[in-house]
Chain A
């Protein structure tokens, strides 16, 4: 069964303290690996799509990377406004369904 597992479930950082969120997937024939951000009371907001191992994408303080078994979302010098739940999702080859992980709730304290 296709699975996407995110760790840790929750992460507390001090402002400026860099860290990484992990997303492990057991999707055969990965077509795409997605990262979304979700704020309380809102729907997820798209961040990145990665398609092949070795690919990297950056946006402001966020950088997403992809290997054959996992993806990392690196957060450099985070600010309180980066506090949110970060969701990872994957699409399998031959399927059009997105499988989501349960998310990592990030809290950045000033």
Chain B
């Protein structure tokens, strides 16, 4: 069974640009969550989607947005990139939602903002 796939693996952007990251969950999983991981702050929750609806949102500015498609694949977008957005962005999928589900993580997209 294929795991969670995130593309691209690495990205280099400059300040002010926007970026779109993609996540394909495990087949049959309907919930997709996104996390930002930095050395200083650790893993921080961005948002969760379930059946194409945003269920939860973390404390990030509106420049961070996402969506989920009918096949459960998800994308997240960051507009007007800032240097502080440099991080590993992790996607996780689970069978259902509710906060107590075991999460399966992808290997992440390493974003560098210059």
Contacts and interface: CB of A to CB of B under 8 A. Distances in A.
Contacts, number: 62
Interface residues of A, number: 25
A100 B36 CA distance: 11
A10 interface: no
Given A43-B4, A43-B92, A87-B43, A96 B104 contact: no
Chain A: interface secondary structure? strand
A97 to B, nearest CB: 5
Chain B: interface size category:
20 to 34
Given A43-B4, A91-B99, A103-B42, A97 B92 contact: no
Given A101-B42, A102-B42, A96 B107 contact: no
Contacts of B55: 96
Interface string A52-88: 0000000000000000000000000000000000010
Contacts of B41: 102
26 contacts: A41-B107, A42-B105, A43-B4, A43-B105, A44-B90, A45-B105, A46-B104, A49-B102, A51-B100, A87-B42, A91-B99, A91-B100, A96-B48, A97-B45, A97-B48, A97-B56, A97-B58, A98-B45, A99-B45, A100-B35, A100-B42, A100-B44, A101-B42, A102-B41, A102-B42, A103-B42
Interface of A: 31-32, 34, 36, 41-46, 49, 51, 87, 89, 91-92, 95-103
